[in-house]
Structure 1
Amino acid sequence: MINIGIDVGKFKHCATVLDDSTGEVLIKPFFLTNDRKGFDLLYSKTKQFIRRKHSVGMEDTGHYMINLTNYLLDKKFTVKYINPRATCLRRKELGVSAKNDRKDALLIAEMLSEKRFWRSISPRTIENSKFRDITRLYHQLQEQQNQDMNRLQRALDIVFPEVNLLSWTRYSKAYMKFLSTYPSASSLAFEDIRNLRKALKTEGKGRQCKVTAEEIRELTKHSVGEDNSSIELEVTSIIAVIITREEQLRILEKKIEEFSHKLNSPIISIPGISHISGMTILAEIGDINHFQNTGNLISFAGMDPLVYQSGKYDAAHMPISKHGSRYMRKALYQAVFTVCKYSPTFHAYYTKKRNQGKSHRCAQGHCARKLLRVIYKLLSTNSLYNQNHIH
């Protein structure tokens, strides 16, 4: 077995070749630049091993190894990723205090000999990672949207605190349009009533705003809002950002839904799971065959409870480990909320945990683990959800 270890960097990589059977270093560590010239240098030195049983290993560093991985897969190399935490622990285990690129490349090459350290990468894995980037981008934008909405309400509490007493829907078209024109109570003080009526009208055939210009005028007479031009500018700026981001989110939602229909995964057959949450979970899982059992999947999601024992002490109540992807855990908690609503089995399980004295969040955690066990079964057998088979 020929092990090709690569220590990945932002501007340059370090590679070495090791004969697994003899431990001989066939090619001493050498550096290559992170561009076409460097990749071609790596290929020219290692192409002699393609027809032999080999593995190219590198740390899963997030994004620095993506272009190199695509290049190697195109050249028909066998590529494997190693968790950076594993290399760090292995270095400590061997008592190696010094850390440099050459030694790390050799360490990675040596770790390829043990299956527990690596996972195989294929073109399908890369394709899945591209979709995972889309779902993660969606959640990142959604988080930013929530933060900006909170910022908007904070600003309104200062310059127009009475505006939310009116009977309109927050962040609706009428709400956002009116506040972008009149971001504070002071900006309404001497405005013509006809202009206020015009600002409340929305284009299209949808329902018109129920709030009247007279109601707004009456509120502004007694408003305690501060006359602050800086915060007025903040309100209009935040509204513009929220509206733009809302359009971006709609584009991503449509893209994710299109992919969901194309993939037609069994995970969508679970009642209560939307295309967004279902595809987020699926993108984070990747290939279900990488997990030997449901316990591995639960641990991968960071939903396994921590264990703390020391001597006679055994902690009875410990939080979940929260290892792995936070996007997956977020999608699981969002999904399990609606699954418990639409699935009688999950609703009964949630009620059982609550009756046992568990808190709402703790009961949701139990349901999330149950949901992961169901997902594992559906994906591994490629079967649809059947209420009668869930216990």
Structure 2
Amino acid sequence: MALQRLTRTRYQIVRQLVEVKQHFIENLSYKCNTLKKELREAEGSTTVFSAAIMDLFTQDLSLDDLANLPLKDLAEWLQSKRRGRFKDPEGLAKTIQRAVRSSYRLDQVMSESIDMILGILVREIRSLEKAVKDCNQGIEDLVQTVPEYQCLTSIPGVGPVYAAGLLAEIGQIERFPDQTSLAKYAGLTWPKHQSGRHEAENTPLTKKGNRYFRYYLIEAANSVSRHLPEYQAFYRKKYQETPKHQHKRALVLTARKFVRLVDTLLRNHQLYTPPRSVIEK
């Protein structure tokens, strides 16, 4: 029960964080409407949620101030915020100034309002990020007392937080007759939508089941698909099968496949071992 309180609270905080970040992006687009696009096209790892970017656009600097700032000074300022970890600070500075110069200008009243909102949202983002970090630490400390913990963390890509989220909702695996009932508990089942011999390609989920369990299954499956070739190949196959909702569909189907692995390891009290073909390589 204590573990479940922590994992469910974390879920709620993460949802709040996603919502606040979306609100931040919407308001940032008023101040610098091309920044997100320019950062994405620069193909770097920096996003609008980088601490340096959030600090830069919540300071008492107008867009004209940023546009006219010497490139070297802006690059040095960015590096100071990341303690020298930007690989190409001058390139990032150029990207930012390009976005600033191509963005439309707001009138003074609107600009002041947006600046105030951005400042509030940045403080809220940082507060929520700290809350998630605190939850993670509490979860990691507590989950180690659960015997089945090592069964799930033996899977590459499944850390203590995801393992805890799964275990907190499953409880005793013996409650479920088989992996199908476990998937149903998560709501990873689909009703049949058929018309004659045609079956819908994008049949929606039943939207029933335990939302906390479903969340941690999908998050864990997403991580596993980046670590295990078998799951990566499965995800890509499902991604390419349809032109609509590709990522969401592929990820949910990968999570459904992942349920079988979770069920097997917990039911047999065993650690993950790679498929024979992987071992032989």
TM-score class normalised by the smaller sequence? 0.7 to 0.9
CA distance in 2, matches of 1:217, 1:339: 38
SS class of match (2:117): helix
Instruction: Measure, in 2, the Cα distance between the counterparts of 1:161 and 1:151.
Output: 14
Q: Which residue of 2 aligns with 1:150?
A: 22
Cα gap change, 1:146 to 1:202, in 2 (>3 Å): farther
Is contact 1:182-1:188 (8 Å) kept? Answer: no
SS at match of 1:177: helix
Do the aligned partners of 1:184 and 1:225 also contact (CA within 8 Å) in 2? Answer: no
1:258 aligned onto 2:141: yes
**Unaligned runs of at least 5 residues, structure 1:** 1-126
Judged with a 3 Å threshold, the aligned counterparts in structure 2 of structure 1 residues 261 and 234 are, in CA distance, closer, same or farther, namely: same
Residue 61 of structure 2 corresponds to residue 174 of structure 1:
no
- Is 1:139 aligned to residue 19 of structure 2? no
The alignment status of 1:332 with 2:217, answered yes or no, reads yes
Residues 185 and 269 of structure 1: CA distance in aligned 2, closer, same or farther (over 3 Å): same
- Aligned partner letter, 1:176: M
| Deviation sequence 1:297-331 (CA, Å, 0-9, x none) | 1111111222469xx97984443323212222222
Shift of residue 280, structure 1, vs aligned partner: 1.4
Question: Which is higher, the Rg of structure 1 or of structure 2?
Answer: 1
2:155 to 270, 274, 278: 270
User: Is residue 268 of structure 2 the alignment partner of residue 381 of structure 1?
Assistant: yes
What's the TM-score, normalizing by structure 2?
Answer: 0.73
Residue in structure 2 matching 1:226, options 106, 115, 125: 106
| Identity in percent | 25
Contact 1:159 1:184 in 2 (8 A): no
The residue matched to 1:292 in structure 2 has which SS? coil
Runs of 5+ in structure 2 lacking a partner?
none
Q: For the residues of structure 1 that align with 2:168 and 2:230, how far apart are their CA atoms?
A: 26
3-state SS, counterpart of residue 21 of structure 2? helix
Shift of 1:191: 8.8
Contact conserved, 2:186 with 2:213, CA < 8 A, in 1?
yes
8 Å Cα contact 1:305-1:319 kept in structure 2 = yes
For 2:105, the aligned partner's letter is G
What is the deviation of 1:237?
0.9
Q: Deviations over 1:268-304 (max 9, x none)?
A: 1122223332221221212212112222211111112
Q: Displacement of 1:135 after TM fit?
A: 1.4
Q: Of Structure 1 and Structure 2, which has the larger fraction of its residues in helix?
A: 2
| Paired letter, 1:346 | Y
Question: Is the 1:268–1:275 Cα contact (8 Å) retained in structure 2?
Answer: yes
User: How far, CA to CA, are the matches of 2:92 and 2:160 in structure 1?
Assistant: 40
Residue identity opposite 1:247 in structure 2: K
Cα offsets for 1:16-66 (capped at 9, x unmatched): xxxxxxxxxxxxxxxxxxxxxxxxxxxxxxxxxxxxxxxxxxxxxxxxxxx
Matching residue of 1:210: 89
Displacement after TM superposition at 1:152 (Å): 1.6
Task: Report the RMSD for the aligned CA atoms in angstroms.
Answer: 3.9
Q: Is the 8 A contact 2:17 2:128 kept in 1?
A: yes
Distance 1:214 1:145, change over 3 A: closer
Residues 291 and 202 of structure 1: CA distance in aligned 2, closer, same or farther (over 3 Å)? same
Q: Is the 8 A contact 1:160 1:184 kept in 2?
A: no
